[in-house]
Structures are given as C-alpha cells and as structure tokens.
Chain A
Amino acid sequence: MSIPLFKTTIKNNWLLLLIFFGVLTMYMTIMISMYNPDDMQAITSMLELFPEEMMNAMGFSGAVTDLTGYLASWLYGLLMFGFPMVYCIILGNKLVAKKVDNGSMAYLLSTPASRTKIIVTQGVYALLSVVLLFAALFGVGVVTSIAMFPDLLDIGAFFKLNVLTMLINMAIIMITFFFSCLFNDTKYSLGFGAGFPILFLLMNMLGGASDKLEILKKLSIYGLQDPVELVHDKDALGLDLFFAGIIALLFLASVLVFRRKRLPL
C-alpha cells in the first residue's frame, strides 16, 4: 500500500462513488416507499400486466409479501447488480489501464513505489469503495425501512443479503480490474472488463426467463444465489466464502500479470 497514492486515488474517484450511491439511494427509498404491507395485491396485479418470463428475467417475484423478501426480489434481483456493474466497469478501467494508456503510469513507476505496491493500492481502493457503497446502502435501507415501516424489516436477513451482494459486486470489480491490469490499451481493457460482467448479467436474466435456459443462470456469477431464498432462512456462508476466494484469486492474478508485463510508457 502506498498512502500518498491511495489519497490521490480517493481524491480522483470519490465523486464517481457518490453519484452511484445517490442513484441507488434514490431507487432504494422509492422502492421501500412503494411497499404496502396491507395490500401486496396492488403490486401483484401490476405484475400480471407483464409477461411472466420478463418478470422472472428481472428476478421479480410476486409471491413474496414481507418487506425483506420484497426488497430482495425487487431491488437485489437486478438493480443492485446492474448499477454497481457500471460503476465497476468505469472504475476498474480507470484505476490501471487508463493510466497506462495515457502514459501517466510512467510517473507512478518513476518513484520508489513498486508495481506490486501500486496495483495493491489501486485494488484495495476498488474493493473498499464497493464495501463502502454497500455499507452505506445497507444503512439507508435500514433507516428508511424503520422510519416508514417500523419492525417490518428483518435486519439480520437484510444484512446477510447485503453482504453476499457486496461480495458478488467485489468479484465483478476484480474482473474489470484484472483486465485493466492485463491490457495496456483501454480498448481491450474496457472491452473485456465490460464484456464479461454484461455477459454474466444477460446469462442470469435469460436463465431466469426460461426453464430450458436455466443452465445459463447457473453458469453466471450472478445466478449462483437467489436473493429471495437467501432472506428466507437460507445460509449464505458457503457462498460468501466462495466469492471471497474468487476475489482473492483475481486480485492475486491482477498483481502477477501487472508485475510481469511490458509497459509501453
């Protein structure tokens, strides 16, 4: 870790994080305010207006009636992956490949900071920013729910849901980060760094829409869990550890490829 670099990275990227936090906070508060504990019928009948496959693709489920399940289905089925994914793609590319592509990496490397130190610093920022995003969103969810519907949110289950969603998004940012370390050209870094997460998201949606394509969902990094099942008493520790492993592996791989490669600076 290089503290001066970490400070500079925060300074250059906090606004991006704030924007995504703002957008997701808006969605979350709107979704919570739309919840009506006495009449889930309204939402269920609205759902019936849309084709069932489409609703399944989005991960929406009309069967749940409790607030935690409702949030898991409507918010954590798609939105909490789709929006942070865009954040991950932008940030991952910006942290390494963009600096190599525009040449400013030369200045970082012409200081006593080693390549490993630079990549570890950038990677730690990437991971911590996702942690911060989900910690803040968890806080927003809890506070808004308590203010609007006291006692209806299962905070323990909601926490479990947020931890796993956070880990999945951390794995996604490590995918974009890995390609950012692998390629010298932002064209490829962005292509692969955006391509894989988008592909995973599409696989997850297609797999959800049709039973025949369910295998796609199982192969997608997003489809390994079901947020509704998760909040209804399913243990997530195994999956948490699995994603933590993926994150660690990708981080290690990022450092290794960057250490060994030739930089056209």
Chain B
Amino acid sequence: MIEVKELTMKYPSGKGVFDLNFTVKQGQVMGYLGPNGAGKTTTIRALLGFMNPDIGTARINGMDCWHDAPNIQKSLGYIPGEIAFPDSMNGDEFLRFMHDMRGTKDFALQKQLIEMFEFSPKGKIKKFSKGMKQKLGIVAAFMHNPDVLILDEPTSGLDPLMQNRFVELVLSEKAKGKTILMSSHMFEEVEKTCDNVLIIKDGRIVKQSDVQSLKESQRKGFVLKTTDTHRLVQMLKVSGFEVQSTADDSVEVYVSGSDIDRFIKTAAQSTIVSFSAKSQTLEDIFMQFYSGNSTTLG
C-alpha cells in the first residue's frame, strides 16, 4: 500500500510537486501520467527515500519513505526512469550483486523473467542496447518477488512484442495482489493494466479517477448526415447541444453520457442519411489534460 499525503517538495528552481494526495491499495495498479517535467519522477524520488518532503508524508506499507527507506526496500521493486547501472559490470554479475545486496537466494523467478523477456544477461552492461538495459532493469526489479512495485516508464526502449510481455507481467503481478505505481507515456499500456490513473501537471494532480469512469465521463462524438443540414443544426443548437465543423454535408455533435437519449430523440426528427459514432480513445482524453484544456473536462 502506498499512501501520499499533502506531499510538497520544492526544488531551488521553484519547480517540484505540490500538495499531492493519493493512495494505491494492495492489488491495485495506479497509472501515473503527465507531460515531461510535470513531477512524476520527483514523486518517485520521495517514495524511494531519495528526497525528503518539505511538507507532508509518503508511506509504503505503513513505513515512512524517508526514515524507513532501508526497511521499505526489502519488499520494493523499482525501475528507474533513467536506468544507470554500476559501471563495468556484466549483466549476470549485476543480478548476482543485487541478490547479494538484498540477501535473497531464490533464483527461480530471475530465470523465469529472463526467459519471459528472451533476454541474455551475458556480457558487459556498457555494451547493451537500450532495450537490453531496460530488460535487465525489469528483471532486477521483479526478481525478488516484491510486494510493492514502483515503475518509472518501464517499457521505454522495448519493442512492441516485449511491451506486451510486460503488460502480461504487470497483470499477473496484480493478480498476485501486488501494489503497483507505474508512470508511463504509453496509453495503451495504461489502459490495459491500470485500474486508476493519476494525472499530474506542473507539480499538481489535475485528475484522479478510475479508468472506467474516466472513459464514461467523456463526451461522445457523433457524425450525422441528413437531407437538410441547416435544419438539423438549428434543432440541435436550440436543444443546447454542441455542434461542430460541418465540413462536406455532415454534422458533428458532442454529447455527454447522460444526454444521449435526448440527443437521439432530437436528431430523429430529421431524416438521417448516415449515423456514426466517433470513438474517443483514452489517449484523446489524456492529450486534453496534457495540453492544458483540463478545465473543459469532467
């Protein structure tokens, strides 16, 4: 369980994170999203105990992230956003070293993960490609079977096949009851794995919601074609619907979930030639938060 309360952490530059409040419960996957420089990594620094908060607390499994960091690490798996391995080590040496540092002796999971990601940890890490380093980071984060996982852009550098494997891994860990916080820019990955999302912008949380209701709360777009475009537009406008770009002869209408019935009944008064729904993906929703139009959204 991860609990962040009123967390404020300021850098000398004035940037930082301000008054963050969120909880990731056991068995939950929380997606942590936001544009570059929004404060995702800063939050993670507080959770890992690399930085102490100015105000507020961050707790993992009931322990304070700053004071009890070594104890927390026993049951924590972490993938850094910018992975840097100790220089001049071999891949398998590094995994061995992490086992030694953690005092763990069970290599079964490590072997399983290496097979899952079709990875060979032989050879100097320095010579590894970006994707191979990422795989090494994934194996190191999951191989001691931690209860809590903090993953900072875990699939960057992985090919699509391996990204899917990673999604499978996260889902199976979630099924085992792990607590997972995952920052990501891959919307598909978030949609597939996360129950909840947290969107941060300029150091403040702008949206906290479960994925399902986030999708439902969004207005849906419909494209209509009719014999009398002018009349339809008039009718919809009078009823208070948002009508947009009437390029060629079609009409685009945006309707929020609860208004669908009223919308269809209104539109049905004219002769409809064609009717199609414009599907809005989670990506569209996030993009609106990213670009700063968050005020117009639920």
What residue of chain A has the Cβ atom nearest to residue B50's Cβ? A263
Smallest beta-carbon distance B50→chain A, Å: 4
Q: Please indicate the chain A residues that have their CB under 8 angstroms from the CB of B48 in the complex.
A: 106, 109-110, 265
From the candidates A3, A4, A8, A114, name the one contacting B70 in the complex (CB within 8 A): A114
Contact A106-B88, Cβ < 8 Å, known A4-B100, A4-B101, A262-B51: no
Cβ of B49 within 8 Å of any chain A Cβ, yes or no, is yes
Q: Give the chain A neighbours of B85 by CB distance below 8 A.
A: 104, 107
A33, CB-defined interface residue at 8 Å:
no
Tell me the residues in window 205-239 of chain B with beta carbons closer than 8 Å to chain A beta carbons. Answer: none
Q: Which residues of B contact A37 (CB under 8 A)?
A: none
Name the CB-closest residue of B to A101. Answer: B84
B73 pairs with A102, CB closer than 8 A: no
Q: How far is the CA of A103 from the CA of B51 in the complex (A)?
A: 14
Residues of chain A in range 227-243 having any CB-CB distance to chain B below 8 Å: none
Chain A positions within 8 Å of B88 at CB level = 12
Q: What 0/1 pattern do residues 253 to 265 of A give for CB contact below 8 A with B? A: 0000000001111
Q: A5, A12, A112: which contacts B103 (Cβ < 8 A)? A: A112
Tell me if B87 is interfacial: C-beta within 8 Å of chain A. Answer: yes
Q: What number of B residues sit within 8 Å (CB to CB) of A?
A: 29
Known: A8-B86, A107-B86, A262-B50. A114 touches B97 (CB 8 A): no
Measured between alpha carbons, how far is A262 from B10 in the docked complex, in Å? 11
A113–B87 touching, CB < 8 Å: no
Contacts of B204 in A (CB 8 A): none
Cβ of B106 < 8 Å from any Cβ of A? no
B156-215 with Cβ < 8 A to chain A: none
Q: With A8-B97, A113-B101 known to touch, is A103 a contact of B74 (CB < 8 Å)?
A: no
Q: Does A45 belong to the interface (CB within 8 Å)? A: no
Complex contacts, B49 vs chain A, CB 8 Å: 109
Q: Does B101 lie within 8 Å of A106, measured CB to CB?
A: no
Query: Which residue of chain A lies nearest to B71 when distances are taken between CB atoms in the complex?
Result: A112
In the docked arrangement, what's the CA distance between A248 and B85, Å? Answer: 31
Interface-side segment among B24-32, B75-83, B241-249, B286-294: B75-83
* Docked pose: A106 CA to B48 CA in angstroms: 9
Chain B residues whose C-beta falls within 8 Å of the C-beta of A4 in the assembled complex: 97, 100-101
Is there contact, CB below 8 Å, between A103 and B82? Answer: yes
Given contacts A104-B86, A107-B85, contact A112 B70 (CB under 8 A): yes
Q: CB of B52 within 8 A of chain A?
A: yes
Q: Are B70 and A103 in contact (CB under 8 A)?
A: no
The reply to whether B52 and A111 form a contact with Cβ atoms under 8 Å apart is no
CA distance A263 to B65 in the complex (A): 14
Which positions 1-34 of chain A face chain B at CB distance < 8 Å?
2-5, 8, 12
B98 at the A/B interface (Cβ < 8 Å)?
Answer: yes
Asked if A132 lies at the interface with its beta carbon under 8 angstroms from chain B, I say no
Cβ-defined partner of B101 (8 Å) among A99, A102, A111, A115: A111
A110 closest partner in B (C-beta): B78
Counting CB contacts under 8 A, is B69 at the interface?
Answer: yes
Known: A262-B50, A265-B45, A265-B50. A112 touches B101 (CB 8 A): yes
| Residues in A whose Cβ lies below 8 Å from that of B73 | 109-112
Residues of A within 8 A of B15 (CB): none
Which residue of A has the minimal Cβ distance to B100?
Answer: A4
B262 close to chain A: CB less than 8 A? no
User: Is the Cβ of B50 less than 8 Å from the Cβ of A112?
Assistant: no
- The residue of chain A having its C-beta at the shortest distance from the C-beta of B103 within the complex is A112
Tell which of B70, B76, B98, B103 touches A107, judged by Cβ atoms closer than 8 Å: B98
A213 at the interface (CB under 8 A from B): no
Interface status of B278 (Cβ within 8 A of chain A): no
Residues of chain B contacted by A12 (CB below 8 angstroms): 86-88
B97 touches A106 (CB 8 A): no
Question: B111 an interface residue at 8 Å Cβ cutoff?
Answer: no
Candidates A99, A112, A115, A117; contact of B86 at CB < 8 Å:
A99
The answer to whether the Cβ of A148 comes within 8 Å of any Cβ in the partner chain is no
Residues of A contacting B50 with CB < 8 Å? 106, 109, 262-265
Contact A108 B87 (CB under 8 A): no
Contact B87 A102 (CB under 8 A): yes
Cα of A106 to Cα of B73 in the assembled complex, Å = 12
Is B84's CB under 8 angstroms from A104's CB? yes
How far apart sit A68 and B83, CA to CA, in the bound complex (Å)? 53
Q: A104-B86, A110-B48 known; 10 other A-B pairs, CB under 8 Å? A: A3-B100, A4-B97, A4-B101, A12-B87, A107-B140, A109-B49, A117-B70, A262-B51, A263-B50, A265-B48
The 9 closest A-B pairs by CB, nearest first: A103-B84, A4-B100, A111-B101, A114-B70, A262-B51, A263-B50, A110-B78, A104-B86, A104-B84
Q: Which residues of A contact B (CB under 8 A)?
A: 2-5, 8, 12, 99, 102-104, 106-115, 117, 262-265
Interface of B with A (CB < 8 Å)?
A: 45, 48-52, 69-71, 73-74, 76, 78, 80, 82-89, 97-98, 100-103, 140
Q: 13 A-B Cβ contacts within 8 A? A: A3-B100, A5-B101, A102-B84, A104-B84, A106-B50, A112-B70, A112-B74, A112-B103, A114-B70, A117-B70, A262-B52, A263-B50, A265-B45
